[in-house]
Amino acid sequence: MHDVEQQPETFWESHYDAMSPRSNGIPGKILVRFTESLAPGKALELGCGRGDDAVWLAKQGWQVTAVDLSHRAIEYAAANAERAGVDVTFQQCDLTQAFPQGEFSLIAASFLESPLAFDRATIFRAALDHVAPGGMLLITSHGKVPSWSKHVRPFLPAHEVLASLGSLPPGWEVQFCEEVSRTMTGPEGQQDEVSDAVVALKRG
């Protein structure tokens, strides 16, 4: 159980303090699937963690800005980008208080979720205003979790994630709104089928 009164920044600093500074460097499969055919432009990642997705995008030629609430996560991500030899603009940012300025061809949010109270829908609605014409908002969330997961609350299916945004502004279209299954290996080598709830929206 998490202390519901705990401040989000304190929670996430502790979360990343307990992790290794270096990650495996592997980008999310959903991000790769939906962006590898796109022409690189300006990209914004919401909740970048240790920077795997941001670094991968930069390697593909994207001009990347990546934000996270945790100072420690930003520190780890910047070091990982430096080791990879790519330039990424990392910013500590509380998305519930402010949204990065500018327009982006791609805004990606991979598992921007929290065990604490967190108004994701408002952040995603704000993101719609910062996608350039022809650009994409890509939201990947946990769907079905593995049998060994400690998560006790259900996650939203893709259609409910989409519904939480309300009516889309004129010119927007839903390119994809489904669960994507994958096999996950647990801490003791066990395997289970899990799914991600994926919503891809394109601005006309």
Q: Which of 142, 138, 140 is nearest to 154 (CA)?
A: 142
What's residue 5's pLDDT?
58
What's residue 12's pLDDT?
76
Backbone angles phi, psi at 189, to 5 degrees: 85, 0
Residues of the chain with confidence (pLDDT) below 70: 1-6, 152-154
DSSP H helices in 85-171: 120-128, 158-163
Global pTM value: 0.91
Alpha-carbon gap, residue 119 to 117, rounded angstroms: 7
What's residue 108's pLDDT?
98
What's residue 133's pLDDT?
98
The distance from CA 168 to its chain's CA centroid, rounded to whole angstroms, is 20
What's residue 27's pLDDT?
97
The pair of structure tokens assigned to 134 is 């022809």
Alpha-carbon gap, residue 120 to 130, rounded angstroms: 16
What's residue 3's pLDDT?
46
Assess contact for 163 and 174: CB atoms under 8 A: no
